[in-house]
Amino acid sequence: MQTNQETLGALERRIDMSVLTADIDKDVDARLSRMARTVKMPGFRPGKVPMKIVAQTYGAQARSEAIGAAVEKAFGDKVREQNLRVAGYPRIEPKEAAGDGLLEFSAVFEVYPQVPLGELSGQKVERPVLTVGDAEVDKTIEVLRKQRTTFSRVERAAAEGDRVAIDFAGRKDGELFEGGQATDFPFVIGAGSMLKDFEEAVKGLTAGESKTFDMTFPEDYHARNLAGQTVQFEITVKGVEEAVLPAIDGDLARSLGVADGDVAKLRDEVRANLEREVKRRIQARVKEQVMEALLAANPIEVPKALVEAEANQLAENAKRDLEMRGMKTKDIPVEAAWFSEQAVRRVKLGLIMAELVKAKELFAKPEQVRALVEDMAQSYEDPAELVRWYYGQPDRLAQAEAVVIEDNVVEWVVSQAKTTDNAVSFDELMGNNAA
């Protein structure tokens, strides 16, 4: 068996291999001999089928297996000899013109890139800083109250925040248009479920009052036949209800899981949950910057085979997510190509982080994994049960270990980069600025 290697690109290689046909013939004979010991055929006892008949029946299969094994061995030997890290599977190409007594093949494949770790001292990371205080607790409790809003009928004109029930009919060029009419339709003024101009027209009306008005749909309205068009609506208010928020008392506390209704305990729980959420969001922001810093400091090419595999996995994940939402994915084309850019990024980060973890010994320590699991468990009703669940299966614990390793990488990069602290508001961190 002879081999030689050729570099086709930064990561692509080709190995030409020649295997002696005599060695393949010998392997074929050995395979047929093993088959003959147990093969069953009508008219013969097991193990008594003549070798000639065995060869006629199974010869092609044995030769195919022998050739596959010879090529696999030749390829494996060369890979080990050259200390190559193969990415994906090789493409085997037989050669037509082979020498006497030889079968010749080429294996085209990709190798993993070398990842020389770059300097991170020039990279910038901005770390958000926020301390949870009474104001943040108050805001969160207010959100919880609004989530439990009830409505009470009132005899007055509709205003911002009221829930109204209306009949309406919309006409374009004097004709009713599809989706432009409803009876006893409820909505909250200011909640954003209706167009602003429509809501403004309802304000000031009392139950039993009607109104006709013109309204122009936005240019980017989802219904193309109405986008930018002016129509006429007729509306009749059927009822007006004002919002009633629950008091901050024992009933609210009990509804939020505080068994004895102690409002002080409720505030403590809200504060603890907020602190965990703030910590998580800060970590997420820092992590995103760290990943960008790693990509900027370590530009590498990645094997197409790995990118393709990652894109296929992302596509499968998307299909599963759609199915969990009750959609039939057979009717929804989900193509791996849609995820190519994301796949390239994920593969690059995976290779860079693996090299960094190995070089800087950022592996997960048992005590770190335990601390992470226990911290995640704090938001559950029975924290000990979640801890047992994680430690009950190795694959579950591996997920926690992966998170710890990622956290170790983030911490190390932050220590090397130009890191500055930046105070942020509660609304900004929580994404409430648009509210």
pLDDT digits (tens, 9 = 90+) for 59-93: 999 999 998 899 889 888 888 888 889 998 899 88
What is the chain's length? 435
CATH 3.10.50.40 fits 149-244, yes or no: yes
Give the phi and the psi of residue 153 in degrees, each rounded to 5.
-65, 140
Q: Residue 365 in 3-state DSSP?
A: coil
> Residue ranges of the domains in the chain?
2-111, 124-129+279-430, 149-244
* Across 414-427, average pLDDT: 94
Does the structural domain 124-129+279-430 have CATH classification 1.25.60.10?
no
Q: What is the mean pLDDT of residues 289-300?
A: 95
Does residue 205 carry a pLDDT above 70?
Answer: yes
Percentage of residues in the chain having pLDDT higher than 70: 97
With 70 as the cut, is the pLDDT of residue 121 above it?
Answer: yes
The pLDDT of residue 1 is: 46
Give the confidence band of 98 by pLDDT, cuts at 50, 70, 90: low
**What's the pLDDT score for residue 370?**
94
Backbone angles phi, psi at 374, to 5 degrees: -65, -35
Amino acid at 235: I
Residue 325 is predicted with a pLDDT of 80
Mean pLDDT calculated for residue range 390-407: 92
Q: What's this model's pTM, rounded to 2 decimal places?
A: 0.73
- Return the CATH architecture of domain 2-111: 2-Layer Sandwich (3.30)
Dmax of the chain from CA atoms?
102
2-111 matches 149-244 in fold: no
Residue 409 pLDDT grade (very low, low, confident, very high; cuts 50, 70, 90): very high
Q: Are the C-beta atoms of 316 and 336 separated by less than 8 Å? A: no
The residues, ordered by sequence, that sit 6+ positions from 128 with a Cβ below 8 Å of its Cβ are 281, 282, 285, 286, 421, 422, 423, 424, 429
| pLDDT surpasses 70 at 435 | no
Residues 225-249, mean pLDDT to the nearest whole number: 96
Asked if residue 105 has pLDDT above 80, the reply is yes
